[in-house]
């Protein structure tokens, strides 16, 4: 499998707003998500499909990942969305309201019938949305159903609407943990829901993102440009974290060279279980350096 994409911030933009689609590329998000689902009313979906296809053609070659959120197949719009997109230019497809492995495999079948990987270096990827209680409870089966899936996205809005729960760190702990665990079990990313309460409240956005990062999430979907920089900051390793990871990895490798399976580094007993996340953090830091340019990270 290819190295995971950097998805600290995934900026969702309505697919029926060509002005916003073009502006979205200038806000520094790692991924641009062009939305054909909730933000587009049914009568406008065919025109939005054309608008998104044109935006993909215009923005291809930028540094950001290009992702399109389609409608579900059950809605009657999803298959037409896939058929109407320049799939050879799209990096990933966001699939909404997935509740079963079978439902996701249906999407894969449509993509393969469209020969979606023709001419591509890297296969078309899926970002799978788990937004309902049923989807959350089927998280592991869904995560391992399709090799195209490189991320699970937790959608808190529909989940809390179905359960009657408030949106808070306490009520979101179970679904967030479930999504992170399922993603970790199959070695893919977990992406958290957008922060809705006040998109211009940077401290609150940061606190919400930090809660998600502590649970193992790799990034956030955001709905407002003001949230992009905050998400990028929170989901980037700090210089101190990079330095510590380098020392842990170096100490462990030295121990192996000396015939030992464990080491003591920074006062921490280091075995392979700590080295794996340290190496993952260093790979992520390298992606951040590549994406953002100069940084204070040690080399």
Tens-digit pLDDT profile for residues 131-179: 999 999 999 999 999 999 999 999 999 999 999 998 889 999 999 999 9
Its pTM stands at 0.91
What CA–CA distance (Å, rounded) separates 208 from 210? 5
Q: Which of 104-108, 237-241, 270-274 has the highest mean predicted lDDT (pLDDT)?
A: 104-108
* CB 144, CB 1: distance < 8 Å: no
The answer to whether residues 193 and 264 belong to one domain is no
Last residue of a domain, one of 234, 252, 271: 234
Give the residue numbers of the binding site for substrate. 69, 131
Q: Is 1 domain-assigned?
A: no
Q: 39 and 153 in one domain?
A: yes
Q: Looking at the structure, do residues 77 and 95 belong to the same domain, yes or no? A: yes
Mark out the alpha helices in 3-153 (DSSP H runs).
18-24, 45-59, 78-84, 101-113, 133-137, 139-143
What is the token pair recorded at 173? 């702990």
As annotated, the binding site for Mg(2+) includes: 131, 158
Residues 124 and 34 in one domain: yes
Least confident of 6-20, 137-151, 178-192, 197-211: 197-211
Q: How many domains does the chain have?
A: 2
Specify whether 167 is located in the same domain as 230. Answer: yes
Assigned token pair, 299:
């080399």
The token pair at 7 is: 């998805």
Q: From CA 36, how far away is CA 27, in angstroms rounded?
A: 20
- What is the C-alpha separation between 48 and 53, in angstroms, rounded? 8
Same domain, 209 and 287: no
Helix axes 202-214, 169-186, angle to 10 degrees: 50
Same domain assignment for residues 156 and 123: yes
Q: Do 224 and 266 reside in the same domain of the chain?
A: no
Give yes or no: residues 262 and 166 share one domain: no
pLDDT over 80 (residue 71) = yes
Containing structural domain, residue 199 = 9-234
107/210 same-domain check: yes
Question: What residues have CB less than 8 Å from 180, skipping those under 6 apart?
Answer: 190, 215, 216, 217
Phi then psi for 29, rounded to 5 degrees? -70, 145
264 and 167 both lie in a single domain: no
Residues 212 and 250 in one domain: no
Residue numbering of the annotated binding site:
69, 131, 158
The last residue of a domain, from among 219, 234, 249: 234
């Amino acid at each position: 499998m290819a190295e995971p994409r950097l998805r600290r911030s995934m900026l969702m933009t309505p697919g029926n707003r060509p002005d916003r689609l073009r502006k979205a590329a200038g806000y520094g998000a790692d991924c641009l998500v062009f939305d054909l689902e909730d933000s587009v009313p049914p009568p406008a979906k065919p025109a939005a499909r054309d608008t998104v296809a044109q935006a993909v053609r215009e923005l291809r070659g930028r540094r950001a990942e290009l992702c399109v959120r389609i409608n579900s197949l059950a809605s009657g719009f999803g298959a037409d969305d896939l058929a109407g997109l320049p799939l050879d230019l799209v990096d990933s497809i966001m699939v909404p309201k997935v509740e079963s492995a079978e439902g996701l495999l249906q999407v894969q079948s449509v993509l393969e019938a469209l020969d979606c990987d023709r001419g591509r270096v890297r296969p078309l990827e899926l970002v799978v949305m788990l937004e309902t209680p049923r989807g959350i409870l089927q998280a592991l089966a869904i995560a391992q159903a399709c090799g195209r899936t490189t991320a699970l996205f937790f959608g808190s809005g529909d989940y809390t609407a179905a359960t009657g729960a408030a949106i808070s760190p306490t009520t979101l702990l179970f679904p967030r943990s479930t999504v992170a665990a399922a993603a970790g079990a199959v070695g893919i990313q977990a992406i958290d829901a957008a922060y809705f309460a006040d998109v211009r409240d940077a401290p609150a956005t940061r606190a919400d993102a930090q809660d998600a990062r502590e649970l193992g999430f790799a990034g956030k979907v955001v709905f407002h440009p003001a949230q992009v920089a905050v998400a990028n900051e929170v989901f980037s390793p700090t210089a101190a974290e990079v330095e510590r990871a380098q020392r842990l990895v170096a100490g462990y490798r030295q121990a192996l060279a000396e015939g030992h399976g464990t080491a003591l580094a920074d006062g921490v007993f280091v075995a392979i279980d700590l080295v794996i996340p340290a190496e993952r953090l260093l790979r992520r830091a390298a992606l951040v350096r590549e994406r953002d340019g100069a940084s204070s990270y040690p080399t």
